[in-house]
Structure 1
Amino acid sequence: MAEYADGLFAIEVDTDDYAKTAAGDTPSVPRTFQSEADFQTQKSSYAAKVDVGDNYHQLLKAVPLLGQDGQPNLEDGEATAGTAQPKLSKKDLQLLGYAVGELYYDKEYAKIIELCSQVADVCQVDAKTLGSLRKWAGRCEGRVRRSDGRGS
């Protein structure tokens, strides 16, 4: 047994080798050692992401069950009965936050309340997300009440 343990568990791995292996097959080259040709190639392929402010519509495209007017946005006459509630991915959750922020900036509080209720009803969300939805909806309900009080 001692021979087995010595042979199997006596493997030494250098931390630098482990980091290179964990990162991938090709070792990354620090930018300080990058050649001018490699830099120009990388520079020419770079494109900045431009946010044009349509996160709400992107969310509706990413999660088709979140339709406008409280109705699911389904194609080909699919029925909502029997379909499982979709679980939002991390990207969809980020997009939801961006969309709420965009709507809040535009002072479209009623739309935020509607969106939060749709997400809570239609999608499968965890407790943390549900808490955020309630917080956003509550804040917007307060804004709507304040604006109604001033307008009367």
Structure 2
Amino acid sequence: MDDLSNELLSIKVGSDDYADAAAQDAPVVSRTYQSEEAFRKIAYTAINESGNNYERLLKAIPALDTQLEDPSMTNGDGAHVTHRTSKRDGQLLGYAVGELYYDKRFQDIIQLCERVKLACTMDGKTAESLQRWTQRCEQRMKTDLNGSMAATTTVGEHDRP
């Protein structure tokens, strides 16, 4: 029995192993290599953004449309269904608020933030952003009503000498 176990463990593999032969036959090519023919076959087009991210946001999340009475939608059972915001929706929301802020449509931003809170499920970071946007717009509306711009710091603005 001792001889049998030695024979099983003493298996010798020759140099004609298929794995070694296959590895030597394969040419070495970079993983990011793309031939000229493959490059020419792909039709590249530039993305043309025409602005109006607010309209794109309303198309992505229809519950945010201000023409609807109740921003939360219901399913057939009468239970409220909230839209779960994706990362792309969050970015689009930021772009839309930026455009509205640039156009000085502060009341629209406040309404949008309220509708997002009612109609969407979001992470804590987005909820913080909504609160900051609302506070900033309320502050801007107050300063605009007074006729003078008070010294305010914006989010991310540093003290300059």
Q: TM-score, normalised by structure 1?
A: 0.67
Which SS does the other structure have where 1:68 is aligned?
A: coil
Q: What is the correspondence of 1:12-51 to structure 2 with a 5 Å cutoff?
A: 29-30=31-32, 33-42=33-42, 45-51=43-49
Would the aligned equivalents of 2:75 and 2:81 in 1 still touch at CA under 8 Å?
no
Q: 5+ unaligned residues in a row in structure 1: which ranges?
A: 1-26
**Aligned pairs, number:** 120
Equivalent in the alignment of 2:97? 100
Question: Which whole-Å CA distance do the structure 2 matches of 1:147 and 1:80 have between them?
Answer: 46
Residues 1:127 and 2:136 are matched in the alignment? no
Q: Deviations over 1:53-111 (max 9, x none)?
A: 11111111111111214624799x97894122121111111111111111111111111
Say whether 1:150 aligns with 2:143.
no
Distance of 2:140 and 2:125 partners within structure 1: 23
Contact kept in structure 1, 2:72 and 2:118, CA below 8 Å: no
Change (3 A) 1:70 1:28: farther
User: Larger Rg: 1 or 2?
Assistant: 2
Offset at 1:40? 2.1
Q: CA deviation at 1:121?
A: 1.5
- Out of 114, 135, 139, the residue aligned to residue 138 of structure 1 is 135
The 1:114/1:28 distance shift into structure 2, 3 A limit, reads farther
TM-score relative to the length of structure 2: 0.64
Structure 1 CA distance for aligned equivalents of residues 67 and 30 of structure 2? 50
Q: Which has the higher helix share?
A: 1
Q: Are residue 65 (structure 1) and residue 67 (structure 2) matched?
A: no
Partner of 1:20: none
Q: Summarize the Cα distance change of 1:136–1:85 in structure 2 as closer, same or farther, 3 Å threshold.
A: same
User: Partner of 1:52 in structure 2?
Assistant: 50
